[in-house]
Amino acid sequence: MFGRLSIVIGNVVQIAGIAAAYLALYLARSAASKTKAISGMVSAWILLYFFCHGIAHWALGRLFGIRFAFYTIGGTGNPQAYPGILRWVFEHLPFFGVRTDKASMQKASPMSKALMWCAGVTSSALVPTLGALCAWRTGVPASRPFLIFAVIWAIATLASNWTSRTGDYSKARRALAG
């Protein structure tokens, strides 16, 4: 863990990151050059990938009455999912995590906990892929091969997390097991 942020500041930063991603997608559609369009599309995908995970945990958790203490900023909690040099990179990138309030987690139903845990990795797979789909649907140059990449990345994200002992889906299965 590199640092922590209050829930309010963490939400503001993540919402700003998601807004910046959508601005990058918007600008990619009308960019003056192919290079700028592709850069905007890729930047949007990266921003969505980094800023949707933690806030998805928070939003779904709050919907089910789970409270949170703070956001964490640190490398991936699932480094074994990445091969070679990517493992090192993802251990050092600033991912947002969120620390639950212990008392509210104890009161939450197993299904509420499981859904809260599933929200993060599911959004990390779906939201950036939807961004790539939007780029393709609006005709951003090179968006078709990038969409294929995004879908493969999403499938790999979901699969690696599903098989991980430390990933969010594992936490969800433990919550359901009681």
By mean pLDDT, which of 14-18, 91-95, 117-121 is the weakest?
Answer: 91-95
Of 99, 52, 73, 76, whose CA–CA distance to 166 is shortest?
76
Of 20, 66, 60, whose CA–CA distance to 44 is shortest?
20
Name the 3-class secondary structure at 95: strand
pTM to 2 decimal places: 0.90
Confidence tier at 89 by pLDDT (50, 70, 90): confident
Confidence tier at 39 by pLDDT (50, 70, 90): very high
Cβ–Cβ under 8 Å, residues 8 and 16: no
Q: What contacts 160, CB < 8 A, 6 or more positions away?
A: 78, 81, 82, 167
Render pLDDT for 133-156 as a digit per residue (tens, 0 to 9).
Answer: 999 999 999 999 999 999 999 999
Question: How confident is the prediction for the chain on average, in pLDDT?
Answer: 93
Render pLDDT for 93-111 as a digit per residue (tens, 0 to 9).
Answer: 888 999 999 999 999 999 9
